[in-house]
Structures are given as structure tokens and as C-alpha cells.
Amino acid sequence: MAHDIPAPSSILLLAALLGAGCSRAEETDTSDALSHGGSHPSTGGEASLATGSEPSGSAPCDLQPVHYAFDSSDLDATARQRLQANSTCMRRGTNEVVVTGRTDPRGTEEYNLALGDRRARAATEYMQALGVAPERLKPRSVGEEMAAGDDETGWADDRRADFESW
């Protein structure tokens, strides 16, 4: 009786497909764990996402700002998505980041400094829950100091947290 033995190229193709399937399942598991509502992600199963080292010569992360609603430091779905992308990049790298909470010019200076601090801390705590080491994130507030808007559209842009490597 003759036995059909698969060609080596068929075995390699099968192995590649199985490997791709495993990596896709890991991505799905991570996104499912992070898709829950609220301002903090589930930390279950995130131990494998510990901070790694960036190979020498790699490009730094292109971290995107997150925006907030008026008089709020709550993270909406868009902000959580951006923070997830920022965290993914930071876990692969070695950069340290200042998270600067900003506000629009309405309100007292003291109130806006406190609100900017809450915004910076909300972003920082969320990224830490996603596996970024706390010592790599430094929250600070500039309140309304750098606000540039003079109407609702401009004020909406002022209400954010920025990320700058240092």
C-alpha cells in the first residue's frame, strides 16, 4: 500500500497558517479583554503584556493625544482606543513619557489645574492598567495655561492629554 506523504512545501504552508491563526486569536483575546466599558480596563490576562525593551535604533512611539468632554476627565471609547494604541507602542519600547493634562480657558485657574491633573492621571492610570510600567509615565497639568481656543471648536481641542517623550 502506498502512503501519501505531504510535500515539504505543504507542511510549511500548514505550519504558517496555524501560526497565523494562533497570533490572531491572541489579538482577539486582548481586544476582548479591553473592550469592556468603563474608565478602566480589565486587567485579567494582561500579565503577558509586560513592558518590553525596544531594539536599539527603533523609532520612538508616535503617541496620539486623547480628548475629553467639557468639565470631565472620563475616558470615552475613542480615548480608550487611542490609549490602547499608545500603550501597545510603549510596551514595545523604552521611552518615558510626560502625560500633560490640558483644559479650555473657562473656569478658575485652580479648578483648571486640578481638572488637567485628573485628565493626566486618568490617561496614565489607564495605560498602567494596560501594562505600561508606572515609572515610564509622568502625569502633569498645565490647566488652561496653554489653551488656544476662542470658541467651542477650539475649546474642544484644548480639552486633552498630550504625550511627550523625555
Residue 10 lies in a domain: no
Domain membership of residue 67 as a residue range = 61-166
Residue 71 lies in a domain: yes
Cα–Cα distance, 57 to 108 (Å, whole number): 45
Residue 154 lies in a domain: yes
Q: Kindly report the CATH number assigned to the domain that includes residue 102.
A: 3.30.1330.60
Residue 35 lies in a domain: no
Contact (CB, 8 A) for 149 and 90: no
How many structural domains compose the chain? 1
Query: How many of the other CB atoms lie within 10 Å of CB of 18?
Result: 10
Residue 22 lies in a domain: no
Residue 103 lies in a domain: yes
For 149-163, how does the pLDDT look when each residue is reduced to its tens digit (9 = 90+)? Answer: 999 999 999 999 999
Beta bridge partners of 163: 99
Beta bridge partners of 74: none
For 55-106, how does the pLDDT look when each residue is reduced to its tens digit (9 = 90+)? Answer: 344 567 889 999 999 999 999 999 999 999 999 999 998 889 999 999 999 9
Residue 101 lies in a domain: yes
Rounded average pLDDT over 109-115: 97
Residue 44 lies in a domain: no
The 3-state DSSP class for residue 113 equals helix
pTM over 0.75: no
Which residues make Cβ contacts (< 8 Å) with residue 107, sequence separation at least 6? 71, 115, 144
